[in-house]
A and B are shown apart, each in its own frame.
Chain A
Amino acid sequence: MPGARRAAALAVSLLFAGCAGDHSTLDPAGPSARAVATLWWIMLGGSAVIFAATTAALVLAWTRPRIFGGDPSRPLVLWGGLILPSVILVALVFAAFALGERMIGRSGSTDLLRIEAEGRRWQWEFRYPGAGGLATIDTLHVPAGREIEFSVTSTDVIHSFWVPRLGGKIDAIPGHRNTIRLLADTPGRYGGVCAEFCGTGHTVMRFEVIAHAAEDYDAVLARLAAGEAPEEMPGDRP
């Protein structure tokens, strides 16, 4: 059953992948984004059923009220208004709790790579602790297949760090340091944006994530720290 569902979700996402740009949450490239995309497809399907059922109830109430029995308020208000929505809601909320805990709760991983992201009007600066004071502007280099914890802050107004194909966003707030864990499955380039309105340059406050093969990553950082261009750049995403 989960396999079939995943296949269905995959089929639909492939449908969209064709028309999706570099920022599509429906074309996930990491576990966080994939989990949320799956949640989305399930919620979309459920919502379609609920919408169809409610609309059908309305139309039937108008045209064939007898099918609700002698006292229509019991099946409609009690079941339609209270019991069914409660059951669905409890299931959905608990599933979301479990997923949320995996995404933003405490991490079990001991192999976290830390990268600092600092938003300012209107660019992103990324710093790589342990890479000789390396800092890059508007380009973020990460290793593929390894979970990274981003420590995000701002020096002026509120921004929001978001790489849609990898996973959720986190706000960059002056005076606070927020964290988010992301992972890119494969080497490639992923679009990033500032999601929180931050003034006239908000629109152009984009950045690019380049995921390198894990075994090349240290070498890439070393070359960048030495001021050279990284020799080998992953091409456009497949």
Chain B
Amino acid sequence: MSANPDMISPIKLHKELARLWDTPPGWGRFSAVNHTVLGKRFIIAAFVFFSIGGVLAMLIRAQLATSGSAFVGPEIYGQIFTMHGSIMMFLFAIPMFEGFAIYLLPKLLGARDMAFPRLTAFGFWCYIFGGSILIVAMLAGVAPDGGWFMYTPLNSGVYSPGINADVWLLGITFVEISALSAAVEIIVSVLKLRAPGMSIDRMPIMAWYLLITAFMMLFGFPPLILGSVLLELERAFDLPFFDPTRGGDSLLWQHLFWLFGHPEVYIIFLPAAGAISMMIPTFARHELVGYRTIIVAVIAVAFLSFGLWVHHMFTVGIPHLALSFFSAASGLVAIPTAIQIFAWIATIAHGRPRFDVPMLYLGGFFVVFIIGGLTGVMLAMVPFNFQAHDTHFVVAHMHYVLVGGFVFPMLAAAYYWLPHFTGRTSDHRLSVPAFWMIFGGFNLTFFLMHLTGLLGMPRRVETYPMEAKWDWLNLVSSIGGFIMAIGFALFVLDIVVQARFGMPARRNPWQARTLEWATATPPTSYGFASLPLIEDRADRLDPEKLGPALARGDGYLGFTRNGWMETLGVDMVTARPTEVVVLPRSTFLPLWTALAIGSFVLCLLFKFYWLSLLPVAVVVVLFLMWAAATGNREDTPPLDIGHGQSAEVHWQVERPPSWWAMTFTLAADGVVVTSLIFSALFLRVVAPDWPPATAAAAPTAALALAVIASIAAAAAGRFGVGRLKAGASPIAAQAACLLLHVVALAALAAGLAGIDDATRHAQAAMLAAVLGLAALHVAIGIIFAGFGLWRAANGYVSPRRSLDLRIGGLWHDATAVIVLVCVVSGVLLALAAGGEVW
């Protein structure tokens, strides 16, 4: 590597960078946007929720330990098992992996932070506030109690009139905001913010796993969010999407939920598999065998996992042929999983393995996860599933998969990366007994539970008769559960002791060969004082040599300028540096925005619907402030990046991270729209009571006007960008875009007003939902157009600084398509139901 031209001392460079990147002390901690800080906060918060979920699990085991137990009644028991499942899935597993990803990813990729640090912080606060709503509700005795998959009509207004189900729908959806923002951020960070030279074939395998997982989240979470919104609309405004007495269908909920719910299992497993693929090569002292094969396998898993969802619904009365598709796909997904497992075994066989604590926990992973996989294939077989479904066999299987596939790898990862987090080595005193208690306790709890299920014990019963002869099995499970709990307590104690009193570690204590070990340990806020040039696959590096060189400022960007926090953006495939990405400083905006959304959620929860418009307005203003905080009124000349190279600043290039973020956000948005339209089709085909006696009509003239206006708005937006690039003013075109959106909104409002009673039948409700979704897009289009107008009027744009308008343009284009699709579906929905079209 060439030397830094204006050679400054590493200490001085460190101080300059730290001054820019460090999170302020005191109250300033709430303004943190740094990935190292927030990654740790995510992990700690997720572990706190895990402990709460674990206590609930202990209550379940206490209740079921003997037959005829009267420890808690069915009302409380419903809350306990619902909260246990919901917490472990939504407040522990997903945020825990997000925390790991946020902490590790920039360090693995050789970047100084994630692509959108404020989004990281925003996601964190949404997670904390949403999670807190659930926990507070539980403490107040009004936790959700209808099961963690919230089946309707049990969780509809008629059968769950209380606030409990609303707490789930609103709180979990609030948390999902953080999952979606993490997905977008991970995708863009992996694709764009890598070290120069780290072409896509050189990425550390973890980056591949996280990239693919994030894409799954992008497509998996929208159906759940849509389902939750529809169910909340049903509960709040009586729109009968899931009500079988008015043309709705409870099966629609199941499809939407499991369309998310099954990919979710792999969304949880794949990041853990990524961590395994990082740890095994280190301890095998051999690079990962089958790097390319594993990538192919993971892509296959990612897709196949979207074709399994009905295996949660085998007994709902679907034709055998349809079940066979899902059964085959469910079995098929075992193949790419087996390929990964044998690639890890082959890595060990190739290497000179060395034993240490993380490997012990990975041994636990192998045993537990393989058993979970095998019972998974059993459950994929339709005839067997008909017997085992909804019994404790499924409970056992699911825990083998999730604890084996996520918890054991994460425990291994905790020991593996602990020296990185804390700068201290780990010793073995408590970690080994902790492992044996967790591993032994786990198998004691869940292994015989398969048999409990086969002996006929259904899930979610709060007691059982002595004649059923399930007593001894349940008692064994309960004893195992408490042993496992003690094991986890030992683990926590061990981690705390080591983090506090462990011996200081030298750099790279495991002799790993990946980039995260080239940072200081514990890492500095900026990660790398200068960014490396990667010339080999990123798991063949020498952190011991690389670390000091980068700290000296030998790499790219080994300096500060303009008080900017800089990292490099690269070409997605070749990793040639393309732009200098200027990242935002610490700010309270994410906190305020999440708080405003939190107040909106609380307004909905307590049914202050008119009042809820106030926080919505605040959210819009805050997001505008968020966008307004970046940008420049002058063109910036190409910037020196070191090594004699230069690059444009990111807001002056064609496709910077924010452009890609908008593109991927729109992809997730497209999934929402598609899911809604498929939902309408599903109701039309499957739901009882169709066509409705009186169908809602679609006013074609108004709707046609909406389509024309939004297509014209998109055209005006494009025209404005063209004008700007040609050196002319885009203001008139932007104003036209704004105006046309207003026209489209008015036309859609007229269409919505034409539905006299959306509560009468699901057809009317669906029509309202489809048109409402279109109107929502147009309304946001107004905000984008207005923002573009303001930016243009205040000199933030120029022929070279057209990004603001082009990002708005993406939205306008998407809105035109969505309005068209929604209107066509709305008209078809009216026609298919025999409604008038006028």
Direct A/B contact, Cβ within 8 angstroms? yes
Q: Which residues of A contact B (CB under 8 A)?
A: 16, 19-26, 33, 35-36, 39-40, 43, 47, 50-51, 54-55, 57-58, 60-62, 65, 68, 72-73, 76-77, 80-82, 85-86, 89, 92-93, 96-97, 99-101, 103-105, 121, 156-158, 160, 162, 164-165, 167-171, 173-176, 178-179, 191, 193-203
For residue A203, which residues in chain B have a CB less than 8 angstroms away from its CB? 74, 461-464
Interface members, chain B 331-382 (any A CB < 8 Å): 331-332, 334-335, 338-343, 345-346, 348-350, 353, 366-367, 370-371, 374-375, 377-378, 381-382
B383 & A93 in contact (Cβ 8 Å cutoff): no
B331 & A199 in contact (Cβ 8 Å cutoff): no
User: Could you show 6 A-B contacts with beta carbons less than 8 Å apart?
Assistant: A21-B469, A33-B387, A164-B387, A174-B244, A176-B316, A197-B460
Per-position contact with A for B314-335: 1 when CB-CB < 8 Å, else 0? 0111001001100110011011
Contact of A61 among B244, B293, B346, B689 (CB under 8 A): B346
CB of A72 to closest CB in B, whole Å: 4
B323 & A156 in contact (Cβ 8 Å cutoff): no
B458 & A193 in contact (Cβ 8 Å cutoff): yes
Taking CB as reference atom, which chain A residue is nearest B82? A197
Assembled-state Cα–Cα distance A80/B383 (Å):
27
B455 & A20 in contact (Cβ 8 Å cutoff): yes
Q: Which of A85, A160, A162, A170 has the most chain B CB atoms closer than 10 A to its own CB?
A: A85
B349 & A40 in contact (Cβ 8 Å cutoff): no
Assembled-state Cα–Cα distance A191/B464 (Å):
13
**Known contacts A25-B454, A50-B374: does B383 contact A202 (CB below 8 Å)?**
no
A175 & B687 in contact (Cβ 8 Å cutoff): yes
Assembled-state Cα–Cα distance A65/B350 (Å):
7
A197 & B459 in contact (Cβ 8 Å cutoff): yes
CB of A57 to closest CB in B, whole Å: 5
For residue A65, which residues in chain B have a CB less than 8 angstroms away from its CB? 348-350
List of 10 A-B pairs having minimum Cβ-Cβ separation, nearest first: A168-B386, A23-B456, A175-B244, A81-B342, A178-B317, A61-B349, A81-B339, A72-B349, A175-B688, A96-B381
Given contacts A86-B335, A93-B327, 8 further A-B contacts (CB under 8 A): A61-B348, A81-B338, A157-B154, A169-B390, A176-B251, A176-B316, A178-B316, A197-B151
A36 & B456 in contact (Cβ 8 Å cutoff): no
Does B467 count as interface, using CB distance less than 8 angstroms? yes
For residue A93, which residues in chain B have a CB less than 8 angstroms away from its CB? 327-328, 331, 381
For residue B386, which residues in chain A have a CB less than 8 angstroms away from its CB? 36, 103-104, 167-170
For residue B144, which residues in chain A have a CB less than 8 angstroms away from its CB? none
Contact of B153 among A58, A77, A158, A165 (CB under 8 A): A158
- Pair count A-B, CB < 8 A: 251
For residue B339, which residues in chain A have a CB less than 8 angstroms away from its CB? 77, 81-82
Assembled-state Cα–Cα distance A58/B675 (Å):
43
Does B799 count as interface, using CB distance less than 8 angstroms? no
Does B31 count as interface, using CB distance less than 8 angstroms? no
**Known contacts A23-B456, A24-B454, A101-B320: does B382 contact A76 (CB below 8 Å)?**
no
Q: Which residues of B contact A (CB under 8 A)?
A: 73-75, 78, 146-147, 151, 153-154, 159, 244-245, 249-251, 289-290, 293, 315-317, 320, 323-324, 327-328, 331-332, 334-335, 338-343, 345-346, 348-350, 353, 366-367, 370-371, 374-375, 377-378, 381-391, 454-464, 467-470, 687-689
A195 & B458 in contact (Cβ 8 Å cutoff): yes
For residue A121, which residues in chain B have a CB less than 8 angstroms away from its CB? 159
CB of A63 to closest CB in B, whole Å: 9
For residue A68, which residues in chain B have a CB less than 8 angstroms away from its CB? 346, 349
B383 & A158 in contact (Cβ 8 Å cutoff): no
**Known contacts A164-B387, A200-B78: does B470 contact A21 (CB below 8 Å)?**
yes
A176 & B688 in contact (Cβ 8 Å cutoff): yes
Assembled-state Cα–Cα distance A99/B386 (Å):
12
Assembled-state Cα–Cα distance A99/B387 (Å):
13
Assembled-state Cα–Cα distance A224/B235 (Å):
43
Contact of A80 among B327, B338, B469 (CB under 8 A): B338
Taking CB as reference atom, which chain A residue is nearest B389? A169
Contact of A25 among B153, B382, B456, B467 (CB under 8 A): B456
B244 & A73 in contact (Cβ 8 Å cutoff): no
Contact of A51 among B349, B374, B470 (CB under 8 A): B374
For residue B462, which residues in chain A have a CB less than 8 angstroms away from its CB? 203
CB of B464 to closest CB in A, whole Å: 8
A58 & B323 in contact (Cβ 8 Å cutoff): no
A158 & B456 in contact (Cβ 8 Å cutoff): no
Assembled-state Cα–Cα distance A47/B688 (Å):
42
Assembled-state Cα–Cα distance A85/B341 (Å):
12
CB of A99 to closest CB in B, whole Å: 5
Assembled-state Cα–Cα distance A116/B362 (Å):
52
CB of B202 to closest CB in A, whole Å: 20
Contact of B345 among A50, A51, A57 (CB under 8 A): A57
CB of B339 to closest CB in A, whole Å: 4
B387 & A54 in contact (Cβ 8 Å cutoff): no
Assembled-state Cα–Cα distance A54/B463 (Å):
38
A77 & B343 in contact (Cβ 8 Å cutoff): yes
A96 & B384 in contact (Cβ 8 Å cutoff): yes
B159 & A58 in contact (Cβ 8 Å cutoff): no
For residue A35, which residues in chain B have a CB less than 8 angstroms away from its CB? 383
For residue A101, which residues in chain B have a CB less than 8 angstroms away from its CB? 320
A202 & B689 in contact (Cβ 8 Å cutoff): no
Taking CB as reference atom, which chain A residue is nearest B464? A203
A73 & B343 in contact (Cβ 8 Å cutoff): yes
A26 & B350 in contact (Cβ 8 Å cutoff): no
Q: Which of B327, B375, B383, B458 has the most chain A CB atoms closer than 10 A to its own CB?
A: B383
For residue B387, which residues in chain A have a CB less than 8 angstroms away from its CB? 25, 33, 36, 40, 164, 167-169
CB of A219 to closest CB in B, whole Å: 30
A47 & B461 in contact (Cβ 8 Å cutoff): no
For residue A173, which residues in chain B have a CB less than 8 angstroms away from its CB? 244, 250-251, 316-317
CB of A81 to closest CB in B, whole Å: 4
B289 & A77 in contact (Cβ 8 Å cutoff): yes
Assembled-state Cα–Cα distance A167/B381 (Å):
15
B348 & A19 in contact (Cβ 8 Å cutoff): no
Assembled-state Cα–Cα distance A20/B293 (Å):
46
For residue A43, which residues in chain B have a CB less than 8 angstroms away from its CB? 377-378, 381, 384
For residue A201, which residues in chain B have a CB less than 8 angstroms away from its CB? 74
A191 & B366 in contact (Cβ 8 Å cutoff): no
A26 & B250 in contact (Cβ 8 Å cutoff): no
CB of A17 to closest CB in B, whole Å: 11
CB of B282 to closest CB in A, whole Å: 15
For residue B687, which residues in chain A have a CB less than 8 angstroms away from its CB? 175
Assembled-state Cα–Cα distance A77/B251 (Å):
40
For residue B456, which residues in chain A have a CB less than 8 angstroms away from its CB? 21-25, 164-165, 191, 193
A80 & B342 in contact (Cβ 8 Å cutoff): yes
A170 & B382 in contact (Cβ 8 Å cutoff): no
Assembled-state Cα–Cα distance A131/B281 (Å):
71
For residue A47, which residues in chain B have a CB less than 8 angstroms away from its CB? 371, 374-375, 377-378
CB of A14 to closest CB in B, whole Å: 14
A85 & B335 in contact (Cβ 8 Å cutoff): yes
B323 & A175 in contact (Cβ 8 Å cutoff): no
Q: Which of A33, A100, A174, A176 has the most chain B CB atoms closer than 10 A to its own CB?
A: A100
For residue A57, which residues in chain B have a CB less than 8 angstroms away from its CB? 342, 345
Taking CB as reference atom, which chain A residue is nearest B455? A24
B74 & A100 in contact (Cβ 8 Å cutoff): no
Assembled-state Cα–Cα distance A179/B688 (Å):
16
CB of A125 to closest CB in B, whole Å: 18
B250 & A174 in contact (Cβ 8 Å cutoff): yes
A73 & B350 in contact (Cβ 8 Å cutoff): yes
CB of A53 to closest CB in B, whole Å: 10
CB of B779 to closest CB in A, whole Å: 35
A196 & B374 in contact (Cβ 8 Å cutoff): no
CB of B560 to closest CB in A, whole Å: 46
Taking CB as reference atom, which chain A residue is nearest B251? A173
CB of B724 to closest CB in A, whole Å: 54
B467 & A21 in contact (Cβ 8 Å cutoff): yes
Assembled-state Cα–Cα distance A145/B46 (Å):
55
Assembled-state Cα–Cα distance A158/B254 (Å):
11
Assembled-state Cα–Cα distance A156/B251 (Å):
14
A89 & B332 in contact (Cβ 8 Å cutoff): yes
